[in-house]
Amino acid sequence: MILQPATQSNSTGSPIGARSLVLEASRQPTAALLPHLGQLSHVTRSLTAWSPRFRNAGGPGGTDVDSPRGQARGKPCREPRESSIAERVRGASGIFLGGGDQVHLITTLSGTLVGEAIRDAFVAGAVVCGTSAGAAALTETTLAGGEVDEDGNEVEMYIGPGLGLLCFGALIDTHFAQRRRLHRLFVAIAGYPQLLGLGIDEDTGLVVHGSIGEVVGKGGVTFVDGRDTVRFDNASTVTKGGELTLSHLRVGLVGTGQRFDLEARELEALLPNGRESGIGNRESGATGTGTRETGPVALGRDRRDPSPGGSG
């Protein structure tokens, strides 16, 4: 996921490929890399995999990559250390949030100096990006669970507060086509029809300019909207997922190169003054053009993301 304030402008107007989205923060002079907030072995593995990519993508002058590791909430407070980490994050022009568990990520960062520093850096003009759980955590409301785990046990769906950097009532789901999560998003929107579900495929990004999101990369973005459209919904009474019944839920697929208005919840081409056709397919790749874009960007997980598997 990559976030940029609406005050930033696109320096060239050219597209960015999905893997270039992952590396967009590294194109800033300084990047704070938070690959995974978990066990030290996981952090070390992620840092080993991600750091060279960020340094190599920074352009001729390279990128100064910092990788501060915060203290989990509930652990003994080390205020001087957290203050130091927060200042490093606040001073970064690019911030990357890795994969894992979005609920753990949000719980760890919310109400902390580091969490405040991420928001301060974003408001000041920094790029904030993430993948998998990092993308799911970007919105005001986040989604986790609601599917069967590796042991065959059904995990209860969790819908709760996110980091609040992407608005428009968006609810992001990642690995969407690869993990067949359409039913999960149906269930989430059935319970909270005012939200806009966005299912992002792997190696795919949604680049948002103001309220307009452009899909880039190898896959697509599925949108699920129940606001003012559902005629029948028994989500409040069902006890099993198979009993859920919905009618007139708006569902669409936005392909690469197409643009979607998050506020209007419709393809830009169908809106007044919208363009007659899409803007063409764009190739993705690690060496694709990674230019600055206006507004927030949500990014589905890179299939080669070294972060340990989680609910992201």
Contact 172, 202 (CB under 8 A): no
Taking a C-beta distance cutoff of 8 angstroms, is the pair 199, 181 a contact?
Answer: yes
Check: CB of residue 135 under 8 Å from CB of residue 172: yes
Chain centroid, CA 92 distance in Å? 19
Contacts of 111 (CB under 8 A, 6+ apart): 73
Select which of 132, 284, 307, 311 is catalytic. 132
Q: Which amino acid is at 91?
A: G
Both structure tokens of 292: 């600055």
Instruction: Rounding to the nearest 10 degrees, give the CA dihedral for residues 4, 158, 149, 110.
Output: 50
The catalytic position among 20, 26, 175, 293 is 175
Q: What would the DSSP string read from start to end of 130-169?
A: E-THHHHTTBSEEEE--SB-TTSPBPPPEEEE----B-TT
- Parallel, antiparallel, or unpaired for β 94-97 and 30-34? parallel
User: Is 150 considered catalytic here?
Assistant: yes
In whole angstroms, give the CA distance from residue 39 to residue 82: 18
Contact 131, 22 (CB under 8 A): yes
From 150, 156, 247, 277, active-site residue: 150
Which phi and psi angles does 247 have, rounded to 5°? -135, 135
* Whole-angstrom distance, CA of residue 100 vs CA of residue 111: 20
Is 217 strand, coil or helix? strand
Query: Which residue type does 104 have?
Result: H
175 is catalytic: yes
**183 catalytic residue (yes or no):** no
The set of catalytic residues is 132, 150, 175
